[in-house]
Each structure stands twice: as C-alpha cells, then as structure tokens.
C-alpha cells in the first residue's frame, strides 16, 4: 500500500514538473532571452531580435528578427496540428471545426508576414508604399485596427484562460468542461502580462537606445514580446483541442 502511494505521489510530482516546464519555464525563458538581447545595450544582440534592413520600409525591419520569426514558427506549428487533426478525426463536424480553426490561423499567419510581401521586397530590393500590406495595420477612426484587435483579444483571453479555468470544476456539463483550459494556462497568461510590463518599462526608460539611436521596436510594437507569448498560449490550447472529440461519440 505504501509503495503504491509513493509511486502515485512520484507520478504526480513528475507530471507537475512537466507542466511547470511547459506552461511557465519555456515561455518565460524564451521571452526573457529576447528581452535580454534587445535591451542588452549591445547593438549586435539587439539586431538579432529586431534588425535594421536599410533598403526596406522601416515598419518591415522587425519582421526579419528573432521575435517575429519565432511568432511565425509557432503559428505554423499550430496550423500543422490543426491540418493534421482534419485528417485524423473521422466525424464531419470535427473536420469542419478544425478546418475553420485552420482558416483563422492561416489568416493570422498571412497577416503577420504581410502576405509574403516583405520577403519579396527583401529578395528583390524593391518596395511599394502604395500596396495595402495587411488589414490589421489599416486605420479605423484614426487608430490602427490592431489596437482594437489587441483590446478585444486581451479581454477574451482573460475570460477564457483565467476566469473559466478557476470555475472549471463547477461546470457540470462534461462536454463543455473538456474545452476549458486547465489552471496551468493561468500561469502562461500571467507570464505574458509580466513580460509585457517588463518590456514596456525597459523601453520607457530608454534601455533600447544604443549610441543615441532607438531600437526598432517602438511604441506599440513593444507589445510584440507579449504577442509571442500569446501565440505560444494558443499552441498549448491547440494541443489540448486536437486530442478532444468535438462531438460526443454515439453510445453502442
């Protein structure tokens, strides 16, 4: 009996350690590394995160840095998992669900890479200021659409990844409860909040200025650090989703 309890306790300790690494240590370490490089005061290190590409428009420079490229990698990982889920799940409703989710992620990915335009400009050495680069950088009521998206996303994420996990055990419907994230997601969400606060604090106190020149993440673009964390959060949730059945199986 004692050995059984000890094995159970050891198993839970291992699982908790794995969860701690996956939900807290990995996102915190990656983001802190990017912040350390960018605000290090070392020009070469800062350029790794958000480089200067003189022959392109300034708002495209950061697209070729470590921070934005990591975002793209995470989005592609999410897209891969969703596309694989379409193939592996057998029920039509499940396939439709994952197909719709894939479409949303594909749209976000294309918006992030300006529909490939800045890669074309990098290779060709040409750019056009007249081309509409992406929807989220267009303006509505004199504000970029991305500002509205960020506010809406922050509210929805707080509800879905913080509030609902706290009340998960009080939800009686097992089908709906299976979609609610575990409480570990709260930790990942808070990592993003703290990372964002740290990045904005360092930026406001001029840690991004090297030899009198401001780094390439300015103003609202400092939120790119939190955006990387958000995408990682979505990746973790996608892993949860693809293991679920969107509709309950018929009883035999």
In a domain, 250, yes or no: no
pLDDT score, position 251: 47
In a domain, 141, yes or no: yes
Q: What is the pLDDT of residues 41-56, one digit of tens each?
A: 999 999 999 999 887 7
pLDDT score, position 200: 95
Percent of the chain with pLDDT over 90: 60
For 57-85, b where at least 16 C-beta lie within 10 A, e where not — what string?
eeebbbbbbbbbebbeebbebbbebbbeb
Question: Which DSSP category does 210 fall into?
Answer: E
In a domain, 37, yes or no: yes
Q: Mean pLDDT of all residues in the chain?
A: 86
Q: How far apart are CA 216 and CA 199, in angstroms?
A: 13
In a domain, 118, yes or no: yes
Residue of 237 and 93 predicted with greater confidence: 237
pLDDT score, position 136: 47
pLDDT score, position 150: 79
For 107-154, the DSSP string reads HHHHHHTGGGHHHHHHHH----TTS---GGGSEETTEEHHHHHHHHHH
What are 211's two structure tokens?
A: 């030899």
Mean pLDDT of 84-97: 93
Q: Residue 248's pLDDT band (boundaries 50, 70, 90)?
A: low
Q: What is the pLDDT of residues 105-156, one digit of tens each?
A: 999 999 998 888 888 888 877 766 545 555 545 544 455 556 777 788 889 9
In a domain, 248, yes or no: no
Q: Which residue has the tokens 């059945």?
A: 245
**Least confident piece of the model among 100-104, 130-134, 248-252:** 248-252
Q: Which of 191, 186, 144 is nearest to 167 (CA)?
A: 186
- Number of domains, the chain: 1
Mean pLDDT of 62-78: 96
In a domain, 249, yes or no: no
In a domain, 49, yes or no: yes
Q: Residue 4's pLDDT band (boundaries 50, 70, 90)?
A: low
Range of the domain at 171: 2-242
pLDDT score, position 160: 96
pLDDT over 90 at 252, yes or no? no
Collapsing DSSP states into helix, strand and coil, what is residue 129? Answer: coil
Residue of 132 and 78 predicted with greater confidence: 78
**Least confident piece of the model among 7-16, 70-79, 175-184, 221-230:** 7-16
Q: Which of 229, 186, 231, 234 is nearest to 26 (CA)?
A: 229
Residue 143 pairs in a beta bridge with 140
In a domain, 9, yes or no: yes
């Amino acid at each position: 009996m004692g050995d059984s309890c000890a094995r159970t306790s050891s198993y839970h300790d291992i699982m908790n350690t794995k969860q701690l690494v996956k939900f807290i240590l990995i996102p915190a370490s990656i983001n802190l590394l990017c912040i350390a490089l960018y605000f290090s005061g070392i020009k070469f290190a800062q350029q790794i995160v958000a480089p200067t590409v003189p022959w392109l428009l300034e708002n495209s420079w950061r697209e070729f840095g470590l921070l934005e490229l990591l975002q793209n990698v995470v989005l592609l990982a999410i897209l891969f998992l969703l596309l694989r889920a379409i193939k592996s799940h057998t029920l039509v409703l499940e396939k439709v669900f994952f197909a719709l989710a894939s479409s949303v992620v594909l749209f976000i990915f294309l918006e992030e890479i300006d529909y490939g335009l800045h890669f074309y400009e990098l290779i060709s050495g040409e750019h056009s200021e007249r081309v509409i680069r992406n929807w989220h950088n267009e303006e509505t009521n004199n504000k970029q659409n991305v500002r509205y998206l960020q506010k809406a996303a922050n509210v929805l994420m707080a509800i879905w990844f913080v509030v609902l996990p706290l009340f998960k055990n009080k939800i009686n419907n097992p089908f709906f409860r299976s979609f609610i994230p575990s409480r570990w997601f709260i930790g990942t969400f808070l990592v993003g909040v703290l990372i964002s606060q740290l990045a904005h604090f360092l930026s406001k106190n001029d840690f991004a200025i090297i030899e009198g020149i401001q780094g390439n993440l300015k103003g609202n673009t400092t939120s790119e650090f939190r955006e990387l964390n958000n995408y990682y959060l979505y990746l973790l949730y996608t892993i949860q989703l693809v293991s679920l059945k969107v509709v309950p199986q018929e009883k035999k």
